[in-house]
């Protein structure tokens, strides 16, 4: 049986640009609904400065609640050593997600450092994470296009993949932060990334700004990739990427894979319940398409596979 892994990022990436404060209780309810649907790898929060991303000010409270849930492997985003220290204090962190950008301008706008400055700090965090037994993902933002520099050469991404792989990361993440990639570009880059990464697992994080998210995910699958980061109901976006829309909706990708006979180990009916709840937390219109269809018919389509 062909099988893929879905990492849902809605509790972090999905909510980080939401202007209305989402309560800690609602964030935990969202995570609980994702767990009930069978998703056990969830990016739960981000340990960033609350002045930068106010929505994540309750990161410690969220992790205190998540730490009691054996059914989930919590993933958290961190931007620096202070963030790592805060995150690792909770003990139940499965993986940290560190972000670099494929362009200098976006890196400066996003974290106010050059790519090299960022990587040096990352190496120190990586050493501490290894000592603590915490996995590390090195994610590369704007891998296909940058809102400030435009086209991103593949070599920019591949150099970072090689550096991170040699440093000993546990996962490489390739992100289409502004949702500009096309399937042929995804096919080309992902094949090269997989070759450079070798035995290191690679994931893709797709935004659906131009409606190409599902097509790009399938292109990545055909290229050999098996780990996908998505956001339930398609909520979210990057606060430092002007014009970017939400993420590829978890339920849309799961529907696609299930119709194709590709195993996700996710309960589709419960996933739609989670999608409804996520949409209720967002002030923006959900990008998820499947959720808006006739529910009974859609569920039956999946069951018939």
How distant, in Å, are the alpha carbons of 122, 131, 142, 217, 260 from that of 4?
28, 29, 24, 11, 12
**What is the Cβ-side half-sphere exposure of residue 75, based on CA atoms within 13 angstroms?**
24
Instruction: Give the pairing type, strands 145-146 and 150-151.
Output: antiparallel
- 238: annotated active-site residue: yes
**Is residue 65 classed exposed, middle or buried when 0-12, 13-18 and 19+ CB atoms within 10 A define those classes?**
middle
| Catalytic residue, candidates 137, 146, 238, 304 | 238
CB 223 within 8 A of CB 191: yes
Strand, coil or helix: 119: helix
Q: How many CB atoms lie within 10 A of CB 2?
A: 10
The H or E element that residue 140 is part of is strand 135-141
Give catalytic residue positions: 238
């Amino acid at each position: 049986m062909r099988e893929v892994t879905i990492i849902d990022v809605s509790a972090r990436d999905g909510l980080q640009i939401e202007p209305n404060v989402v309560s800690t209780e609602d964030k935990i309810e969202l995570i609980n609904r994702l767990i009930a649907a069978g998703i056990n790898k969830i990016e739960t929060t981000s340990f960033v400065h609350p002045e930068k991303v106010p929505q994540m000010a309750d990161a410690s409270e969220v992790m205190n609640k998540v730490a009691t849930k054996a059914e989930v492997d919590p993933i958290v985003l961190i931007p620096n050593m202070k963030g790592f220290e805060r995150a690792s204090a909770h003990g139940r962190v499965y993986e940290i997600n560190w972000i670099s950008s494929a362009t200098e301008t976006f890196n400066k706008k996003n974290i106010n450092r050059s790519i090299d400055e960022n990587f040096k700090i990352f190496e120190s965090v990586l050493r501490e994470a290894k000592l603590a037994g915490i996995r590390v993902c090195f994610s590369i933002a704007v891998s296909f296009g940058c809102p400030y520099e435009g086209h991103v050469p593949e070599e920019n991404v591949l150099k970072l993949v090689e550096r991170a792989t040699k440093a000993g990361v546990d996962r490489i993440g390739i992100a289409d932060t502004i949702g500009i990639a096309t399937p042929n570009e995804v096919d080309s880059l992902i094949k090269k990334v997989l070759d450079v990464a070798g035995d290191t697992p690679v994931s893709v994080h797709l935004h659906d700004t131009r409606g190409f998210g599902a097509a790009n995910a399938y292109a990545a699958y055909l290229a050999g990739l098996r780990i996908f980061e998505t956001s339930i109901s398609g909520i979210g976006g990057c606060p430092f990427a002007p014009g970017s829309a939400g993420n590829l909706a978890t339920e849309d990708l799961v529907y696609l894979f299930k119709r194709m006979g590709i195993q996700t180990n996710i309960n589709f009916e419960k996933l739609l319940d989670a999608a409804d709840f996520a949409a209720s937390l967002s002030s923006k219109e959900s990008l998820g398409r499947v959720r808006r269809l006739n529910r009974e018919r859609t569920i039956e389509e999946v069951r018939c596979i």
